[in-house]
Amino acid sequence: GENVEQHPSTLSVQEGDSAVIKCTYSDSASNYFPWYKQELGKGPQLIIDIRSNVGEKKDQRIAVTLNKTAKHFSLHITETQPEDSAVYFCAALFNKFYFGSGTKLNVKP
């Protein structure tokens, strides 16, 4: 099956700085890669996704890049704000969804 590795496990940035979270996957047949934000006490929320026929996708301060050759994809958050503090999960679809281990992002005001 698929294996998704996510780094770093924790990330602390100053408000206004950028944050980057990286994931690698093992199965080249995976073709859909979503990112989720999970705030304390809540369920994961889909924030952005990318398909294998696209290299980059942006939505305001959030962007995702995909390198199919290297089998990795990244989440970029610019101009971070305290409300961006949460746990972020990447995932890859291969028959079912395989999730990364999560990154706890702390944005310091």
Partner 1 sequence: SAVISQKPSRDICQRGTSLTIQCQVDSQVTMMFWYRQQPGQSLTLIATANQGSEATYESGFVIDKFPISRPNLTFSTLTVSNMSPEDSSIYLCSVGEGRDYEQYFGPGTRLTVT
Under the binding rule (CB under 8 A), the answer on residue 5 touching partner 1 is: no
The phi, psi pair for 83, rounded to 5°, reads -75, -5
CB of 43 to partner 1, least distance (A): 4
Binding window for partner 1 (CB under 8 A); candidates: 19-27, 44-52, 61-69, 77-85: 44-52
Contacting partner 1 (CB under 8 A), which of 19, 21, 25, 44?
Answer: 44
Query: Closest Cα to residue 88, out of 101, 72, 107?
Result: 101
Q: What is the C-alpha to C-alpha distance for residues 64 and 18, in angstroms, rounded to an integer?
A: 13
Contacting partner 1 (CB under 8 A), which of 16, 32, 58, 67?
Answer: 32
Residue type, 16: G
